[in-house]
Amino acid sequence: MLRIFLHGKGLIIMLIVAERINSSRKSIAAAIEAKDRDFIHNEAVVQTKAGADYIDVNAGSFVGEEIERLKWLIEIVQGATDLPLCIDSPDSEVIRSVLPLLDRSPLINSISMEPLRLEGILPLAVERGAAVVGLCQSEEVMAETIEEKVRLASELVKAALAAGLPLDQLYIDPLVYPVSSNPLSGPAVLEAIHQIMEHHPGVHTICGLTNISYGLPKRKLINRTFLVAAIARGLDAVIMDPTDPELFGALMAGLAVVARDEYCMNYISAYREGRLN
């Protein structure tokens, strides 16, 4: 694994959650519908080889069939890789139904300060020893400003600790919105990452990249740029496509230039493997 880096406060792990097995993608939805085991198996294999730490599995597009479809995905992916899974569902009943099938402790995506999700999923995570993604949102607020993001992050930390979840198993997602419709989304997320990491030593921050570029041309360029900026502010986990060579290259370069890759050894290794574009 390439994800352990030297940081001023100690060792920080840059986790890569591989995002491709998500039913919101047309090719994945079609493969699930057709029960194309080979297609899903290959998606798990290529993301594993590309350097993922968790393989995300999501069947949320199949309303009323999510549990059945997710169980099918889990069976195939666990047969294709030894990596732990990221179980991607906001539904506590879905989480409860699939947890017994898992070979390794998962990352659960996600809880929030909404009572149904917090009270339904957090105890399951603690019982299983799972890590959790916590979204900066409540019933009243989907955090957009720096202040909202940091306040809700603090509430998530308090709730996690009260439930017995160690802080190093909490990954806070400050919520990314498209800069095409919310020009201040980028700066708000970047500052929130910085403040969350400073205020809560031991906690992690995570985000998906693709929302930032929605509605814009050359979306991958925006995604890469945002990733490097977020790394500079302390981001230590990311939901991304590790098979994208330019995105992976930006990740490696970003870690090197902010001194989270001691003597640039991981960057050099990636170069020698032909993985930098």
User: In which element (H, E) is residue 155 found?
Assistant: helix 146-163
- Residue carrying the six token digits 């403040």: 195
pLDDT of 111 reads 98
Longest pairwise C-alpha distance within the chain: 51
Do 219 and 226 meet the contact criterion of CB atoms below 8 Å apart? no
Q: 86 - beta bridge partners?
A: 56, 107
- Residue carrying the six token digits 């370069």: 253
Do 173 and 139 meet the contact criterion of CB atoms below 8 Å apart? no
Nearest Cα residue to 36 out of 51, 17, 21, 46: 21
pLDDT of 13 reads 60
pLDDT of 275 reads 86
pLDDT of 2 reads 43
What is the rounded distance in angstroms from the CA atom of residue 80 to the CA atom of residue 158? 37
At residue 209, φ and ψ (nearest 5 deg) are -90, -30
Helices (H), 16-65: 26-34, 37-49
The secondary structure of 204-246 as a DSSP string is EEEEESGGGGTTSSSHHHHHHHHHHHHHHHT--EEEE-TT-HH
User: In which element (H, E) is residue 116 found?
Assistant: helix 115-128
At residue 258, φ and ψ (nearest 5 deg) are -105, 20
User: In which element (H, E) is residue 239 found?
Assistant: strand 237-240
Do 127 and 164 meet the contact criterion of CB atoms below 8 Å apart? no
Task: List per-block mean pLDDT (blocks of 10 residues) for the chain, which spans 277 residues.
Answer: 40 82 98 98 97 96 98 98 97 98 97 97 97 97 97 98 97 98 97 98 95 97 98 97 95 94 91 88
What is the rounded distance in angstroms from the CA atom of residue 24 to the CA atom of residue 65? 14
Torsion (CA) 177, 40, 249, 212 in degrees, nearest 10: -10
What is the rounded distance in angstroms from the CA atom of residue 27 to the CA atom of residue 21? 9
